[in-house]
């Protein structure tokens, strides 16, 4: 069987197996690049040296490809040949393919002051000024929705896709419990319960009280991830906060959870991670914060005893 035909079957299984649409598109792009590079030979003829050469060519590209982008190629290749082994009973030439090494991007959570500025920026538009008039701002029609979204993301650590899939019935305002739905069959994301605190519940209640036409089966926030990312960028400009995007709220929740005494295992469940790898990164940052705080506050050092 030609590699292209195997890729066709693999992508078909991905689409019906609960993978996110963005992941399917990414893997399709990567594997089609692989087919083109190899000139579409029979799947059984692929050797580890072929895969190493393919990865070497990617590393040599100018401008250089990012570490996470190369890692996505490695993951796509591994996932594809594992599927071929299980479905087509072919050998796995990828088992000795070395995973690209790279440094993770620095995780920088929002500060309390930045969060307050973002919430305030939800209230009014940019400043306008017509000729012969004083500058003025308009109250934003989506103020309550946007505040509720920020509070939910910050208080639960859920992903933007999970937030956009929430239905009104998934939220219990009495207990604060939020049922997070998996994507598709749940193969890549896990259903779980997270909780909202008092302030976040109040923000969602106010939003719903002004939007009484939202039914239990309706989406809680009728927005898509791209739209949220777009207005968050604009919100950050008005609030004078840099690098505002949905996933940074997840980082902020995680760091604050650990700073405030939460443990890594419950955080892993809350975030829906399959492993502790990412949680350990958050823990390392929280531990560094503790060490820095002690250096600043040490009475023995500050009193020069």
* 220-253 residue pLDDT tens: 999 999 999 999 999 999 999 999 999 999 999 9
DSSP one-letter code for 162: H
| Alpha carbons 5 and 254: distance in angstroms, whole number | 42
- Average of pLDDT values for 118-125? 91
| 121 shares a domain with 82 | no
In this structure, is residue 304 part of a structural domain? no
pLDDT confidence of residue 59: 87
* pLDDT value at 155 more than 60: yes
In this structure, is residue 99 part of a structural domain? no
Name the band, by pLDDT with cuts 50, 70 and 90, for residue 17. Answer: confident
Name the band, by pLDDT with cuts 50, 70 and 90, for residue 39. Answer: very high
In this structure, is residue 26 part of a structural domain? yes
In this structure, is residue 107 part of a structural domain? no
| Alpha carbons 141 and 139: distance in angstroms, whole number | 7
Higher pLDDT, 302 or 141: 141
Higher pLDDT, 148 or 129: 148
| 23 shares a domain with 169 | no
Structural domain containing residue 116:
112-296
- Which residue, 27, 52, 87, sits at the end of a domain? 87
pLDDT confidence of residue 15: 87
| 275 shares a domain with 230 | yes
Q: For the chain, give the mean pLDDT.
A: 86
| 36 shares a domain with 160 | no
In this structure, is residue 94 part of a structural domain? no
Structure token digits, residue 31: 């594997």
- CB under 8 Å, gap of 24 or more: what pairs does 27-36 form? 27/76, 27/79, 27/80, 30/72, 30/73, 30/76, 30/77, 31/7, 31/76, 31/77, 31/80, 32/7, 34/3, 34/7, 34/77, 35/3, 35/4, 35/7
* pLDDT value at 29 more than 80: yes
- Which residue, 87, 102, 134, sits at the end of a domain? 87
In this structure, is residue 52 part of a structural domain? yes
CB within 8 A of 117, min separation 6: which ones? 239, 240, 241
* pLDDT value at 180 more than 80: yes
| 237 shares a domain with 140 | yes
Name the band, by pLDDT with cuts 50, 70 and 90, for residue 184. Answer: low
| 60 shares a domain with 191 | no
| Beta-ladder partners of 42 | 2
CB within 8 A of 299, min separation 6: which ones? 305
- Beta strand 192-195 with 177-180 is antiparallel
| 127 shares a domain with 74 | no
CB within 8 A of 236, min separation 6: which ones? 118, 242, 243, 244
Check which CATH number belongs to the domain holding 165 and give it: 1.10.443.10
| 264 shares a domain with 182 | yes
* pLDDT value at 298 more than 80: no
| 49 shares a domain with 131 | no
- Which residue, 33, 53, 87, sits at the end of a domain? 87
- Average of pLDDT values for 119-145? 82
* pLDDT value at 105 more than 80: no
* pLDDT value at 89 more than 90: yes
pLDDT confidence of residue 183: 72
For the chain, what percent of residues have pLDDT higher than 70?
A: 88
- Average of pLDDT values for 6-16? 92
In this structure, is residue 43 part of a structural domain? yes
* pLDDT value at 188 more than 70: no
| 77 shares a domain with 219 | no
| 263 shares a domain with 179 | yes
Check which CATH number belongs to the domain holding 14 and give it: 1.10.150.130
Q: Count structural domains, the chain.
A: 2
| 117 shares a domain with 80 | no
In this structure, is residue 100 part of a structural domain? no
pTM for this predicted structure: 0.72
For the chain, what percent of residues have pLDDT higher than 90?
A: 60
């Amino acid at each position: 069987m030609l590699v292209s035909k195997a890729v066709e079957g693999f992508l078909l299984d991905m689409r019906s197996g609960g993978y996110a649409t963005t992941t399917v598109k990414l893997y399709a792009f990567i594997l089609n690049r692989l087919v083109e590079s190899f000139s579409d030979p029979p799947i059984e003829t692929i050797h580890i040296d072929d895969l190493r050469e393919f990865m070497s060519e990617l590393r040599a590209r100018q401008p250089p490809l990012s570490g996470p982008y190369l890692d996505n190629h490695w993951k796509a290749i591994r996932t594809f040949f594992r599927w071929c082994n299980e479905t087509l009973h072919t050998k796995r030439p990828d088992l000795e393919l070395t995973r690209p090494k790279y440094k993770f991007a620095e995780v920088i959570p929002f500060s309390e002051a930045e969060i307050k500025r973002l919430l305030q920026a939800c209230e009014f538009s940019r400043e306008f000024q017509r000729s012969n008039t004083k500058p003025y701002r308009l109250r934003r029609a989506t103020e309550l929705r946007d505040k509720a979204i920020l509070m939910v993301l910050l208080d639960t650590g859920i992903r933007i896709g999970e937030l956009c899939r929430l239905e009104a019935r998934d939220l219990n305002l009495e207990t604060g419990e939020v049922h997070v739905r998996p994507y598709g069959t749940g193969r890549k994301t896990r259903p779980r319960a997270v909780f909202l605190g008092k302030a976040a519940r109040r923000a969602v209640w106010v939003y719903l009280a002004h939007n009484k036409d939202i039914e239990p089966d309706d989406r809680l926030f009728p927005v898509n991830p791209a739209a949220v990312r777009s207005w968050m960028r604009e919100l950050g400009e008005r609030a004078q906060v840099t690098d505002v995007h949905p996933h940074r709220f997840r980082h902020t929740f995680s760091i604050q959870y650990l700073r405030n005494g939460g443990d890594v295992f419950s955080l892993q469940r809350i975030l829906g991670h399959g492993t502790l790898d990412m949680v350990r990164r958050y823990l390392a940052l929280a531990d560094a914060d503790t060490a820095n705080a002690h250096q600043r506050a040490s009475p023995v050092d500050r009193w020069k005893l």
